[in-house]
Amino acid sequence: MKILVIGKGSENVISKIKSLREMKHKVDFLKTNKIFPFHKFVNKLFYIFKLSILDFFIENFYKKKISKYYDLIFIYNSPYINKKSIYYLKKLSKKIIFYCADNPFKKRDKNMWQSFLATKNLYSLIVFQQPKRAYYAEKNNIKNYIIVPPSVNTDFFNNSSKVSNYKFDISFVGTWFPERGKFFYDLHKKGLKFKIFGNRWNKDKIFYKFIKKKIELGHLNFKRYKKIISQTKINVCLFSKGNDDDITERCTEITSSGGLLFCEDSKTMKKMYQKNKDVIFFKTVDEFYDLYKKYHKNNRLIKWISNNGRNKTLSLNLDERKVLKKIIDLTFNLKNSNKKIYFNF
Q: Which domain holds residue 262?
A: 168-315
Enumerate residue ranges in the chain where pLDDT < 50: 345
Same domain, 290 and 323: no
| Spatial contact of 122 and 73, defined as CB atoms under 8 Å apart | no
Alpha-carbon gap, residue 112 to 100, rounded angstroms: 13
Same domain, 17 and 146: yes
- Give, rounded to a whole angstrom, the gap between the first and last alpha carbons of the chain: 23
Same domain, 140 and 213: no
pLDDT digits over 32-64, tens only?
988 877 667 777 777 666 667 788 888 999 999
| Spatial contact of 124 and 334, defined as CB atoms under 8 Å apart | yes
Residue 338 burial (CB count, 10 A): 6
* Whole-structure pTM value: 0.93
pLDDT value, residue 337: 55
Domain count, the chain: 2
Whether residue 33 lies inside any domain: the answer is: yes
pLDDT value, residue 344: 63
| Spatial contact of 289 and 190, defined as CB atoms under 8 Å apart | yes
Complete DSSP assignment for 256-283:
HTT--EEEE--HHHHHHS-BTTTBEEES
pLDDT value, residue 50: 67
Same domain, 260 and 280: yes
Whether residue 10 lies inside any domain: the answer is: yes
Same domain, 174 and 298: yes
pLDDT value, residue 336: 53
Q: What per-residue string of b and e applies to 183-222 under the rule 16 or more CB within 10 Å gives b?
A: bbbbbbeeebebbbbbeebeebeebbeebeebbeeeebeb
Whether residue 342 lies inside any domain: the answer is: no
Whether residue 345 lies inside any domain: the answer is: no
Please, is 23 exposed, middle or buried when counting C-beta atoms within 10 Å of its C-beta (0-12, 13-18, 19+)? middle
Phi, psi dihedrals of residue 228, rounded to the nearest 5°: -65, -40
pLDDT digits over 105-161, tens only?
988 888 888 889 999 999 999 999 999 999 999 999 998 999 999 999 999 999 877
Please, is 71 exposed, middle or buried when counting C-beta atoms within 10 Å of its C-beta (0-12, 13-18, 19+)? middle
Whether residue 97 lies inside any domain: the answer is: yes
Same domain, 231 and 258: yes
Same domain, 325 and 278: no
Alpha-carbon gap, residue 41 to 39, rounded angstroms: 5
| Spatial contact of 16 and 324, defined as CB atoms under 8 Å apart | yes
| Spatial contact of 59 and 81, defined as CB atoms under 8 Å apart | no
pLDDT value, residue 171: 98
Cα distances (Å, whole numbers) of residue 229 to 139, 249, 260: 38, 13, 9
Whether residue 156 lies inside any domain: the answer is: no
Same domain, 122 and 174: no
Same domain, 203 and 189: yes
Complete DSSP assignment for 209-247:
HHHGGGEEESPPPHHHHHHHHHHEEEEEE---TTTT-S-
Q: For position 49, which CATH number holds?
A: 3.40.50.2000
Cα distances (Å, whole numbers) of residue 88 to 63, 69, 74, 128: 8, 11, 14, 24
Same domain, 307 and 330: no
Same domain, 53 and 172: no
pLDDT value, residue 143: 86
Give me the half-sphere count of Cα atoms (radius 13 Å) on the Cβ side of residue 229.
Answer: 30
C-alpha of 11 from chain center: 10
Whether residue 159 lies inside any domain: the answer is: no
Cα distances (Å, whole numbers) of residue 257 to 222, 223, 305, 345: 12, 12, 12, 21
Complete DSSP assignment for 185-211:
HHHHHTT---EEEESSGGG-TTTHHHH
pLDDT value, residue 51: 64
pLDDT value, residue 12: 94
Whether residue 91 lies inside any domain: the answer is: yes
Same domain, 90 and 106: yes
